[in-house]
Structure 1
Amino acid sequence: MSLTQVTVLGECVADAFPAGSPEPGGLTLRVLPGGGPANTAVALARLGTRTRFLGRISHDAFGSLFRAHFDASGVDLVTCVDAAEPSTLAVTTLDDAGRAGYSFHAEGSADWQWSATELTADRIGDAACLHTGSLALVRGPGAEHVEKLLAALPETVTVSIDPNVRAALVDPAVYRARMPHWCALADIVKLSDDDLEYIHPGEPAERVCDAWHAAGVRLVVVTRGPLGALVSVDGVRAQIPVLAAEVVDTVGAGDSFTAGLLHRLGSEGLLGGRLKALSLERAVEAAAFASRVAALTCSVAGANPPWARDLAAFNP
């Protein structure tokens, strides 16, 4: 078990998948626990990192589903807020390649209602790293308080951000405007090539990475699906290949990649500050491990990340 604690701040989302074809008068949905930050917290805990989830969890039926999922995976919920508002719901559809599309039902839901009195620095515990992103960084009124928390953290806490753009809910221009500020607050930015295209359409990834490094972030990782991933440390870059694995769907794959990256960095003693000891070689090793975690997640339905024991038996 890793001694490093990572606190993950953000939302839980009930992912509803159509179960079979519509029938006269109704459609059956299968609901699974999801949400980018929640998926990352679960994956981290299953890999063996001490993990705290900091979120606002509803008392509705979906909230009970989230709590049971976190408990079964070993995630610490001690500083979560018990919220009166409803949970966020996303109806999920899959294309022929297993890639997910989402229709969100999020207005007035619990995840975004942070107040200054609820979101205080003591809630992150003895974390060496705080990871956040996705809708938590852009949905008001809570987004403002999330940013203030990041700005108030001591330099002994590594800050990790995954923008995880949800263009159906938030104009990508919002992410584009906020990224320089987030890069000034963060030590790690991980995102997908789809996210990058939303934020900086048509721009080469290398040029964007350099701009973000100039803003302050040390490590940028861009996942590229079947093309692998780009790893950039202060402008020095490397590509890592994708692992061959049977793809059932890609739900939660990016979140599992983030968890694998943070878990490996933590196990190497690199979390807990400004990543001063991080080299490109060590970043590539962490990203290669993260690719294994993501590949296993793609091999099963839904956001169901692997346990550490599953990795030992995985031979792609």
Structure 2
Amino acid sequence: MRKIAMILVGGEALVDLVPAPGTVPGELGPLLPLPGGGPYNVAITVGRLGAPVRFLSRLSTDSFGDALLRRLELSGVDTSMVQRGPEPTTLAVAGIAADGSARYSFHVEGTADREVAHPGPLPAEIKIVSLGTLSLLLEPGASRYEQLLRDHSGSGGLTVLDPNIRPAMVTDATAYRARFASWLPDIGLLKLSIEDAAWLAGGSQGGDTDKAVAEWLSLGPAAVVLTRGGDGIVVRTAGGVEVEVPTVPTAVADTIGAGDTVHGALLSWLCHNGITTPETLRTVDADAWRAALTFAARAASVTVSRAGAEPPYAAELAVQS
């Protein structure tokens, strides 16, 4: 039997403070603490979908950190590379619009996940490294994750990135876009939202995303996956493949964690199908990409039907099929 490779997801874990159900838009109400953070949600998704996954981050020793660690363990995530420290847990205050979309304000000064240490050489069983969101923006951790990205790519490993831009947290947009471009030669799969693609392509009003994706593909990634909210998911590859799948209709509670679920579901699908190197990723054809994106869309439809980032377990998707 073929041994399934291990996925390493690195990045922040935080607590989302989400308005309680029934809160009137534009008014203050009770806030519910829910576990979150882009990479954390990705790791939870991969673990629940049954692929071997390890999480790299620094969690606080406060009660929020304890709860975040416990949830990883309950979701089947290997926590042997999780670091702990006395710094507080990052908080993200979420505002939910009428359509379920979320906007955030972040409380990140002096928090634990920013102080993550580089783990050193990775174990041989780790074949895929996935990074993104605030972890590649906030120093000193950002430079350590960036080095991990380059180290794994340099050793021939498959890397996956979701920049998951938080514009309000970017102090120098031009510098960030340049840094993003510098990562592209070391990225195998780039996954991002259409909003993030527009921001990266050209400023506050957005740029030409089609032109930008073509340029990004020419610089290194084998494929770029774009999530487009209600318009579905599309992949474009360096080999000229383009595949679109629609969203799965569902009653939307909120969209927190939807993109992270897509990311995690794609990682799980790649791992279960033996696509764990840059070379094998470049061989994925249109039919296989359609299967991968459809699986990801189904997983995301479950997450958006529930409050907060609550990705599905494999058994839930099996019931749907």
- 1:251 to 2:253 alignment: no
| Shift in Å, 1:168 | 1.7
| Shift in Å, 1:21 | 4.8
- 1:300 to 2:306 alignment: yes
Pairing partner for 1:283 from 262, 282, 289: 289
% identical aligned pairs: 36
Contact 1:249 1:300 in 2 (8 A): yes
Which secondary structure does the structure 2 equivalent of 1:200 belong to? helix
Counterparts of 1:251 and 1:170, CA distance in 2: 21
The one-letter amino acid paired with 1:302 is: G
Q: How does 1:158-237 map to 2 (within 5 A)?
A: 158-171=158-171, 172-201=173-202, 202-234=206-238, 235-237=240-242
Deviations 1:39-96 (A, max 9, x none): 0000000000011000001101110110111111111111111122111001111000
Deviations 1:249-278 (A, max 9, x none): 100000000011111111111113442422
Pairing partner for 2:316 from 302, 310, 315: 310
Q: How does 1:50-89 map to 2 (within 5 A)?
A: 50-89=52-91
The one-letter amino acid paired with 1:55 is: S
Contact 2:222 2:278 in 1 (8 A): no
| Shift in Å, 1:314 | 2.3
Contact 1:2 1:50 in 2 (8 A): no
Moved over 3 A (4+): 171-175
The one-letter amino acid paired with 1:173 is: T
Deviations 1:198-248 (A, max 9, x none): 211433322111101111111100110111122111143222222211111
Structure 2 length as normaliser, TM-score?
A: 0.91
Counterparts of 2:307 and 2:30, CA distance in 1: 17
Pairing partner for 1:30 from 29, 32, 51: 32
Cα distance change on mapping 1:228 and 1:21 into 2, 3 Å: closer
| Shift in Å, 1:174 | 4.0
Counterparts of 1:69 and 1:32, CA distance in 2: 11
Counterparts of 1:258 and 1:71, CA distance in 2: 20
Contact 2:162 2:192 in 1 (8 A): yes
Which secondary structure does the structure 2 equivalent of 1:48 belong to? coil
Aligned to 1:104: 106
Structure 1 length as normaliser, TM-score?
A: 0.92
Q: How many residues align?
A: 309
| Shift in Å, 1:301 | 0.8
Which secondary structure does the structure 1 equivalent of 2:87 belong to? coil
Q: Which ranges in structure 1 are unaligned for 5 or more consecutive residues?
A: none
Contact 2:18 2:31 in 1 (8 A): yes
Q: Which ranges in structure 2 are unaligned for 5 or more consecutive residues?
A: none
The one-letter amino acid paired with 1:75 is: V
Counterparts of 1:194 and 1:175, CA distance in 2: 16
Indicate the larger mover: 256-265 or 232-241: 232-241
| Shift in Å, 1:2 | 8.0
| Shift in Å, 1:28 | 3.0
Pairing partner for 2:245 from 221, 240, 260: 240
Counterparts of 1:267 and 1:180, CA distance in 2: 30
- 1:90 to 2:92 alignment: yes
The one-letter amino acid paired with 2:311 is: P
Counterparts of 1:301 and 1:209, CA distance in 2: 32
Counterparts of 1:75 and 1:308, CA distance in 2: 14
Which secondary structure does the structure 2 equivalent of 1:57 belong to? strand
Which secondary structure does the structure 1 equivalent of 2:88 belong to? coil
Contact 2:19 2:96 in 1 (8 A): no
Which secondary structure does the structure 2 equivalent of 1:146 belong to? helix
Contact 1:2 1:49 in 2 (8 A): no
